[in-house]
Structure 1
Amino acid sequence: MSDTGKAEGAFRTIGEVTAATGVAPHVLRYWESRFPELRPVTRAGNRRYYRPADVALVERIQRLLGTEGYTVKGVQKLLASEGRGVQQPASAPNAALAAMPALRAIRDRLQRALDAA
């Protein structure tokens, strides 16, 4: 059981997803309109119930947008390519991971320059 008192596989309400992820309800509803992969079950009164896979997708979208710097359009393309089974070349993820420290260093230098200005 999770900290909400529900079983791990139980459906979550929009309020519970908001509490667990920190993503506001209006943002969740917006993401539902932008990402066809995010489709919670709707019941009477248009109440949303999120499956564990939906919650995991919300967390992933949040990470991609907030931490990894993707745009909404970029996340849409990424999720669409995964849904179609498009595989990236094996070297592409490794090259991107290898470039991360250099990109972070550039970002940090730019931030210091902006702070100094």
Structure 2
Amino acid sequence: MTKDSGAFRTIGELSKELNIKPHILRYWEDQFGMLQPLKRAGSRRHYRPEDVEMVKTINRLLNEEGYTIKGARKFLTSRKAKSGATVSQDAQAASAPPVAATVKEDNGVMLKELKTIRDRLSSALGQA
């Protein structure tokens, strides 16, 4: 028997549903301030539908996209800020340099660093 998508979930139910251990969910609550399930008597956690979506997003960022906790926190904070952006902030963003150019530059720097690491590892393995 499955719960309705709008129903609250206990930490055990969410853990089973998403295949994430309960201690990881509790750790994420400490690391991501925006994840705040309801706590009932005996500190039993009840995850609302928006909490479930937040956990799914955190899981995707950390385990599928390779974000660090700090990076995922920053991503979620910036996404929250963007969703509350005013018209004047949107106008400022339009005058800013395109994101694609910045991403290309960041990717180029990252690629160069990764190649350097690869070369170091290769030479270390060759010496071993």
Q: Which residue of 2 aligns with 1:83?
A: 80
**Cα 1:51/1:90, change in 2 over 3 Å:** farther
Looking at secondary structure, tell me which structure has more helix per residue: 2
Q: Which residue of 1 aligns with 2:71?
A: 74
Q: Which residue of 2 aligns with 1:43?
A: 40
Q: How many residues align?
A: 102
Deviation of residue 79 (structure 1)?
1.1
Letter in 1 for 2:38: V
Letter in 2 for 1:30: Y
Deviation of residue 80 (structure 1)?
1.3
Deviation of residue 5 (structure 1)?
3.1
Structure 1: unaligned runs, 5 residues or longer: none
- Percent identity reads 45
How big is the alpha-carbon RMSD for the aligned residues of Structure 1 and Structure 2? Answer: 3.0
TM-score by length of 1: 0.70
Letter in 2 for 1:26: H
* The structure with more radius of gyration: 2
Q: Deviations over 1:5-41 (max 9, x none)?
A: 3222110000110011111100000000010111100
Q: Secondary structure at the match of 2:24?
A: helix
Structure 2: unaligned runs, 5 residues or longer: none
Q: Which residue of 2 aligns with 1:13?
A: 10
Q: Deviations over 1:59-81 (max 9, x none)?
A: 11111111111000001111111
Q: Which residue of 1 aligns with 2:99?
A: 92
